Structure 1
Amino acid sequence: MPTLTFALNHMTAPGLKLDAFFALAVSLGMNAVEIRNDLDGNAILDGTTPAEVKALAERHGVTIISINALQRFNEWTPARAAEAGDLIGYAAACGARALVLVPKNDGTGQAEGERQANLREALEALKPLLEAAGIIGLVEPLGFEICSLRSKREAAEAIRAIGGERTFRLVHDTFHHHLAGEPELFADLTGLVHISGVEDPAVAVSDMRDAHRVLVGPADRIGNTSQIKALLAAGYAGPLSFEPFAPAVHAVANPKAVVAGSIAFLRENI
């Protein structure tokens, strides 16, 4: 039986302050966490300094495996470059290992040729910034039909084309992988796996959105267990990070119990 290593993304319990979130991860037997820069009233948006975040992580004995995320990274502008510099600097100062890179997801930049050129331009610009800080760039294709980077193959080809294999890795998100319908895994280039499930029996795959994303359990429709088994068989040995976006999950009074239930399900079925 493969050894499963789990991590916790702050989106699992976004109402918890960082101290309580780190404590939740530890209570679940995890020492790897992802923090976010899109949670109002919470670190990073509330002005918490990277030194404070680093001290909290050290006190709890957790490793910050990523900051999630630089949005619209493949629309490279002076403003994006400044934002990237700030986030990479924050990541380095708080002890984070990586920065998640999320493509624009508004129906623009999808044309053949245009999207590949935009992606390569952004990766080439990010590469020296990340390397100077010792931070990994985690490229996360999104499965939505309006996304400018749906294909992990295109991401992998761009990373290899610029000699970026040591600077960039892919995020395999089980939700987005299912939506994209791309069978290849690219386990050798995968640096992180995000896991969430969809249980709503009525929603069509093309209509699945973040609000449908719950913890992985027996009613999951998107094949988390088969995806994880395939990734492990192909050599992936990194963490599986819980990233549910459903308001119903965020409203749970005892997040430890529900996450522990999902861990138990995955351990039994993988």
Structure 2
Amino acid sequence: MSQVYTQVSIDTRGVATLMLNRPEVHNAFDDAMIAELLAVLKSLADNDDVRLLVLTSSGKNFSAGADLNWMRSMAQKDYQQNLADADELANLMHKLDKFPKPTIAQVKGAAFGGALGLVACCDIAIAEFKASFCLSEVKIGLIPAVISPYVMRAIGERQSRRYFLTAERFSATVAHEMGLLHEVVGEGELATSTEHLISSLLQNSPQGMSAAKALIHNIYNRKISNNVIAHTTQAIAEIRVSDEGQEGLSAFLEKRTPAWLGKEGS
């Protein structure tokens, strides 16, 4: 697959790195970049050798959000064309959010507008101390609509009421306090911190982690009802009798390394 706006690599452990690669425009995205990201995500999701995904960026900034030239062109188009365009961005956020393997966002520099959606859609997000964030849409008469379900899930309604409306720039520390980030690290420490997370994730059952992600998506924010209880009991029963569930339990009881680690020579 030919890539223009991204760089993708997969190491021997199955760690895929997806790099936003338009540093000349601060990794701002347009319709072409969105289409490329969707294609890359599908390819990586379908690749059984991929264990997890790291979303990172080239240059000084994570992403400036929407490309100005793209927004200018969309302002000249009608409602139906804008709806179709927005559907593609919504599809990107959804596919990243539901990516079947663990995802880690690495943030340095600025992450503005739609870039916060990408961060919020990843399972784990870490940023350098000097990183900054902004939901800047209202400054130009727009709203953070497509990314709002993911950002609001991360930071909550109360914080959204402030930052959606003020378009204030806020620090990595504030982003961490609000729940957008899991960890804030010093300058130059992103790689080391990410590697620590990767090492933890690679110890775990690939099937188990995918099932855990699906569990979260299925029961988060739902009332504890008979249907929810039934879903959880079915989920644990299914994973117990699965190949990796059986292997994991056997390895634990027999005090040996499970097969998914043995395949990596760990």
TM-score range, shorter chain: 0.3 to 0.5
Indicate the structure (1 or 2) with the bigger Cα radius of gyration.
Answer: 2
Q: TM-score, normalised by structure 1?
A: 0.32
Q: Pick 1 or 2: higher relative contact order, CA cutoff 8 A, min separation 6.
A: 1
| Structure richer in helix, relative to its length | 2
Q: TM-score, normalised by structure 2?
A: 0.32
